[in-house]
Amino acid sequence: MMRRSSVCLMFLILATVAGCKHSAATSPALKARAAGTAIAASSGGQQIGETGTALKDPLVVQVNDDHGTAVQGALVEFRGPAGVHFDPAAVLTDSSGQATTTIRLGTIAGRYQISAVTPGKSQSATIQAVETALGYQQELGYLLAEKYCDRCHDPESSVERVSNYDNLEVKPHPFTEGDTLNKMSDADLVAIIQHGGPALNRSALMPPYGNTLSAADVRALIASIRAVADPPYQPAGTVYARK
């Protein structure tokens, strides 16, 4: 008897905690202390991460008033498609007018459109950002690109890697440059990655990877190149012969 009632009590406590959590998530107890008229992205838009994981950098947005002055205490709400999680989902801007959240992408690979909304005095202002979630094969390709390709293909140097881009006489394209890479067929990508630039009458500064990377690695690289392309890659549909 004794045992049974304590189990009940525990259940009650758990239910209360869960209930509180739920209502906190749906109706944030945040009250705006000020209102801005404009919202702008500061950093953290256009990141690429793995499905179901938190993006490396937080998303930071800035709320200003009519005069372009930072507004402290304005409410900012972050919204995204189902499966995206924000921590926090609503926040007040700090003394520099900034609101910061960490984003965990959903488990489906693809582009996630995120918005940050701030209610103004008469109408609310919205800013949008797109974050990309990579599936398993795409993520594998992304890591291979970091290891083998980015030192030439990414003009930006990072702490871990100094870019070789400026030393190259012929400039390669970052893999996000959809305008160039979307025009290349999968077959062309396989050819240039396995056999190097000369396979497509391009510069030999693009080395051959046929002996370094397996066919599956090359497919993963191509999957990642297609996933990060901006503008997005549109696979060719069915092409019918003209009558």
User: How far, in Å, CA of 71 to CA of 96, rounded?
Assistant: 7
Question: For residues 123-162, which are near ligand HEC according to CB under 6 A?
Answer: 148-149, 151-153
Taking the alpha carbons of 35, 124, 55, 104 in that order, is the dihedral positive or negative? positive
Exactly one of 89, 105, 114, 193 binds ligand HEC (CB under 6 A); that residue is 193
User: How far, in Å, CA of 28 to CA of 117, rounded?
Assistant: 14
Q: How far is the CB of 138 from ligand HEC (least distance, A)?
A: 13
Exactly one of 189, 190, 223, 227 binds ligand HEC (CB under 6 A); that residue is 189
Question: For residues 89-108, which are near ligand HEC according to CB under 6 A?
Answer: none
Backbone angles phi, psi at 122, to 5 degrees: -105, -45
Residue closer to ligand HEC, measured from CB, 12 or 170: 170
Residue 34 found at the interface with ligand HEC (CB under 6 A):
no
Give residue for tokens 């490396």.
Answer: 56
- Write the DSSP string, 36-78: -SEEEEEE--S-EEETTSB-SS-EEEEEE-TTS-B-TTBEEEE
Residue closer to ligand HEC, measured from CB, 87 or 179: 179
Exactly one of 80, 97, 172, 178 binds ligand HEC (CB under 6 A); that residue is 172
Q: How far is the CB of 131 from ligand HEC (least distance, A)?
A: 23
Exactly one of 30, 70, 168, 199 binds ligand HEC (CB under 6 A); that residue is 168
What residues have CB less than 8 Å from 237, skipping those under 6 apart?
Answer: none
Residue 176 found at the interface with ligand HEC (CB under 6 A):
no
- Among 48-56, 73-81, 102-110, 199-207, the segment contacting ligand HEC (CB under 6 A): 199-207
**Do 59 and 99 touch, CB atoms closer than 8 A?**
no
Q: How far is the CB of 185 from ligand HEC (least distance, A)?
A: 11
Residue closer to ligand HEC, measured from CB, 76 or 228: 228
At residue 99, what is the residue type?
A
The residues that bridge with 127 in the sheet, in sequence order, are 116
What residues have CB less than 8 Å from 17, skipping those under 6 apart?
Answer: none
What residues have CB less than 8 Å from 153, skipping those under 6 apart?
Answer: 145, 165, 172, 173, 174, 175
Q: How far is the CB of 137 from ligand HEC (least distance, A)?
A: 14
Exactly one of 206, 220, 227, 229 binds ligand HEC (CB under 6 A); that residue is 206
Residue 22 found at the interface with ligand HEC (CB under 6 A):
no
- What residue ranges bind ligand HEC (CB under 6 A)? 148-149, 151-153, 164, 168, 170, 172-173, 180-181, 189, 192-193, 197, 202-203, 205-207, 209, 221
